[in-house]
Amino acid sequence: MSVLHIINKSPYDRSSLDTCLRLAQPDSAILLIEDGIYAVQKNAAAAQKVEQALANHQIYALQPDLEARGINPDNMIDGIALVDYDGFVKLTTDYDKSQSWL
């Protein structure tokens, strides 16, 4: 069963991203939204974990949340795909299950 894991908490405030990366199966995807978007930045504390996760998971970032937090897409880790709200909805239908990490 393929799962879309949705992370909305900052990797600097909560362990949601770490727990998700540890438990997510290789056929699953990860969508970073709200403050979870901070995990997309190159050279940030979470960057190495996210870069390693890209080997096994497709990782997406919600573009409106990226813009709302003033993060330049040029500062994103290579390989992360940006999606808009329509893309978010499509992802929820593309995967068998969605898991939100709080």
Distance separating alpha carbons of residues 7 and 75, to the nearest angstrom: 19
Q: What is the pLDDT along the chain (102 residues), one digit of tens a residue?
A: 799 999 999 999 999 999 999 999 998 999 999 999 999 999 888 999 999 999 999 999 999 999 999 999 999 999 999 999 999 999 999 999 999 998
Q: Can you give the pTM of this predicted structure? A: 0.95
In the block, tokens 């879309």 appear at 4
pLDDT value, residue 102: 84
Distance separating alpha carbons of residues 85 and 102, to the nearest angstrom: 20
What is the tally of structural domains in the chain?
1
> Which domain covers residue 32, as residue numbers?
3-101
CATH number at residue 14: 3.40.1260.10
